[in-house]
Structure 1
């Protein structure tokens, strides 16, 4: 791959996601959306009125017990993207018995990736403390992400100290779904700088290798790391293919058995667009993984 693909969301992705957003109301009936909930207080010195927001998508029908919860983190090269483009993910998950939370977080160049990770962690903390009000089970909380959002979703599950700084004694993430994740090991990537233009990532990740390592989930893995579902496009960018394979290898070396699937013919953008269809393979594996089908 060339991480250059992540500079901006390609026009095709934006167009198709806008079409999906425009038609997501066709599946809205089984779900209830609560939009633009602030997950940190406006009095916080870091507060962003646009970026510190999340949307909750809950099944309308009460469950026999609280529903599992999936926090979805969008991609966009750490420089772009919005929760508003992914309402179809929230609707599809809610329709299938999951309380979905789709979040915004601050972006580069306003902040660097460590601050983005803090934003995502604070969103998860909010979810753990408040999701019962929406019918969700805080004890069954999972993260999910595509592209740069996948790297952040993996980091949240593996970096316990990040939650401790926000008042959580234990990491609330019980598992992770990676959809063509980027940034799983930016420490290795930025040390090599194998592709033209890689210096652009210094804007988002900073010049300090210690910081690259801090935000790389690969370097936080332990035998206690929660389970992973890992999906990779068969025709995605080479660095996503290789870093995902190395991530899986590291998990197996620690005694884990992650689910790992390369989806033949899929490029990077279609890997997230497929989430528009209820019966795609990611949802088929996700639902039993989070306990929506038991």
Structure 2
């Protein structure tokens, strides 16, 4: 039976906390997994992905699922800053040993994947992303006429799935950015992150979904130019992140297990 510690505060000032899921066999060589939930930076909770914490613990990881500040009350770079605050807390907490950094891996769903990329660039943790949005500035330039909506089908009467996706994409991007300011959007782009320490990365995306595959391919080109290693898995259909996660959890965990083995 998985043991869970709820609401362990990692940022006193913002009153942000994490839940911790313990594997049955915990040793000094415990593998640690950070899971970043999605929700467009304006919704989503660590409680909503409890079953995933249990799954990661059952796979042998001590799993941490942190919460982070949400928009519109908290705009960019609040969630990004929270992610770094969490990792610094974790590395200096009672839950890690001095050499545990090499045992830490990440999975991020949707914008949680974007946060995972930001963290990976600074700490080098092996990372898997599920449908991580990576481009905001160029996308906005190409979608001036799109009206933002959290539910474009009902609010705007849209019926085409691509139009609905575009409307939602614009909604969550501008909500977290606080505006459509190009300078802010450029800083949000994953290609603008400090990726000096980026190590093993696997990106999973559907062929035709909310997150444009073309932007993912452009990001991978940037990584290749900087001689970074990345695996891309493109799956059929239009599912986004948690829509296909159960079907690709084995591939994700196997990738992370292999990276930990190679580092030892």
**Alignment TM class, shorter chain as reference:** 0.7 to 0.9
Report the CA distance between 1:285 and its aligned residue.
Answer: 2.3
Report the CA distance between 1:228 and its aligned residue.
Answer: 0.9
Query: Normalising to structure 1: TM-score of the pair?
Result: 0.72
CA RMSD in angstroms, aligned pairs only: 2.8
8 Å CA contact 1:72–1:101 kept in 2: the answer is: yes
Q: Secondary structure at the match of 1:116?
A: helix
In structure 2, how many angstroms separate the alpha carbons of the residues matched to 1:175 and 1:104?
A: 20
Gaps (5+ residues) in structure 2? 149-169
8 Å CA contact 1:141–1:172 kept in 2: the answer is: no
Query: Which residue of structure 1 aligns with residue 5 of structure 2?
Result: 34
Query: Which residue of structure 2 aligns with residue 72 of structure 1?
Result: 35
Equivalent residues in 2 for 1:1-294, closer than 5 Å: 29=1, 31-41=2-12, 44=13, 47-48=14-15, 52-63=16-27, 65-130=28-93, 132=95, 137-158=100-121, 171-182=122-133, 184-193=134-143, 196-198=146-148, 200=171, 201-207=173-179, 208-220=181-193, 222=195, 224-237=197-210, 239-265=211-237, 267-268=239-240, 271-276=241-246, 280-291=250-261
Q: Secondary structure at the match of 1:178?
A: strand
The 3 A distance-change label for structure 1 pair 102 and 175 is same
8 Å CA contact 1:70–1:101 kept in 2: the answer is: yes
Report the CA distance between 1:98 and its aligned residue.
Answer: 1.5
Report the CA distance between 1:113 and its aligned residue.
Answer: 2.4
Q: Secondary structure at the match of 1:39?
A: strand
In structure 2, how many angstroms separate the alpha carbons of the residues matched to 1:121 and 1:230?
A: 21
In structure 1, how many angstroms separate the alpha carbons of the residues matched to 2:244 and 2:99?
A: 25
8 Å CA contact 1:53–1:103 kept in 2: the answer is: yes
Report the CA distance between 1:107 and its aligned residue.
Answer: 0.8
The 3 A distance-change label for structure 1 pair 138 and 223 is closer
8 Å CA contact 1:129–1:138 kept in 2: the answer is: no
